[in-house]
Amino acid sequence: GTTLGGAAAEKGRYFGTATDPHMFSNSAYMTVLNREFNQLTNENGMKWDATEPQRNQFNWARGDQLVAHAQARGMRVRGHALLWHAQQPGWAQNLSGSDLRSAAINHVTQVASHWRGKIYAWDVVNEAFADGGSGGRRDSNLQRTGNDWIEAAFRAADAADPGAKLCYNDYNTDGINAKSTGIYNMVRDFRARGVPIDCVGFQSHLGTSVPGDYQANLQRFADLGVEVQITELDVQQGSNQANIFRTVTRACMAISRCTGITVWGVRDCDSWRTGQNPLLFDCNGNKKPAYDAVLAELNAG
């Protein structure tokens, strides 16, 4: 393959990017996006604050625009994200207890229903585990509604869009550590009890190194029977950037249940990591050495 998406497709996988419909009028940007990627994630426009700015009043505009573009070009869509402690609308931030629980489950049901049949995979729950050594849940208003909030969200998403793959997504899970092990134990428990979870997303916002057990960590989740996906990949620019992108791509290609990779933006200047130049294209849309490394690994795998 001569493009990221094309090369991935030859291996039965996808290669995607985060984007936002406000970029769709930028022709230099869209030339790269349409050429290289066959999966899109809405960087902000499908989050709770964007889709339900007032309780039970939904705004589908940005998500609909992204889905329409993807469908017209045969690209898959990753839905991001149904429930998250961040980017909640103000009204939800002010709720607690059973009122918040029912608002959250209603949100999952309404959003997943609106795009039923159009989403390849949903990040049903995002970033619910704590950093550090505890291996436990992150404290949040959602967690304080009861430890079963995550499984309740997966069951509601399954009822609303039974065809979508339902994923748990998190960061700092790039090797075998307390946080990734806490998530592993939850996924194993969900599979044992029949809670509908199909996939785990590894954001992979990386600095200037990647853990040596990156692939082993993906593999232990795949061995639970779930798909694994790299969902928000970006790597701080340094002498090792291309090698780290290569290592991540190689790890995914080595695991049959690793179904795709998504980078968190197209060009360095589109990135949320200001000044770190963490992506595959420079600000002019030129391919960087990291691009060549990724493409070579996709074709080798």
Active site residues: 232
Q: Considering only residues 206-265, where is the footprint of ligand G3I by CB under 6 A?
A: 232
61 near ligand G3I, rule: CB under 6 A = no
Task: Determine contact, residues 193/206, Cβ cutoff 8 Å.
Answer: no
Amino acid at 52: E
87 near ligand G3I, rule: CB under 6 A = yes
Task: Determine contact, residues 289/33, Cβ cutoff 8 Å.
Answer: no
Name the residue with the smallest CB distance to ligand G3I: 272
* Among the listed residues 171, 228, 276, 39, the one whose alpha carbon sits nearest the alpha carbon of residue 290: 276
Q: Which two tokens stand for residue 247?
A: 């290592």
Q: How far apart are CA 19 and CA 284, in angstroms?
A: 16
Looking at the Cβ atoms of 48 and 184, the one nearer to ligand G3I is 48
Q: Considering only residues 114-133, where is the footprint of ligand G3I by CB under 6 A?
A: 126
93 near ligand G3I, rule: CB under 6 A = no
Over the window 154 to 193, marking each residue x when it contacts ligand G3I by CB under 6 A and - when it does not, the resulting string is -----------------x----------------------
Q: How far is the CB of 234 from ligand G3I (least distance, A)?
A: 9
Task: Determine contact, residues 53/59, Cβ cutoff 8 Å.
Answer: yes
Q: How far is the CB of 87 from ligand G3I (least distance, A)?
A: 5
Q: How far is the CB of 294 from ligand G3I (least distance, A)?
A: 20
* Among the listed residues 212, 138, 224, the one whose alpha carbon sits nearest the alpha carbon of residue 185: 224
Q: Which two tokens stand for residue 254?
A: 């080595």
24 near ligand G3I, rule: CB under 6 A = no
Q: Which residues contact 138 (CB under 8 A, 6 or more apart)?
A: 85, 127, 128, 129, 130, 131
Looking at the Cβ atoms of 42 and 145, the one nearer to ligand G3I is 42
CB atoms within 10 A of CB 138: 15
Location of structure tokens 């044992």: 192
Count of residues of this chain found to bind ligand G3I when the rule CB under 6 A is applied: 9
203 near ligand G3I, rule: CB under 6 A = yes
Looking at the Cβ atoms of 60 and 272, the one nearer to ligand G3I is 272
Any bridge partners for residue 42, and if so which?
19
44 near ligand G3I, rule: CB under 6 A = yes
Looking at the Cβ atoms of 22 and 163, the one nearer to ligand G3I is 22
| Site of interaction with ligand G3I (CB under 6 A) | 43-44, 86-87, 126, 171, 203, 232, 272
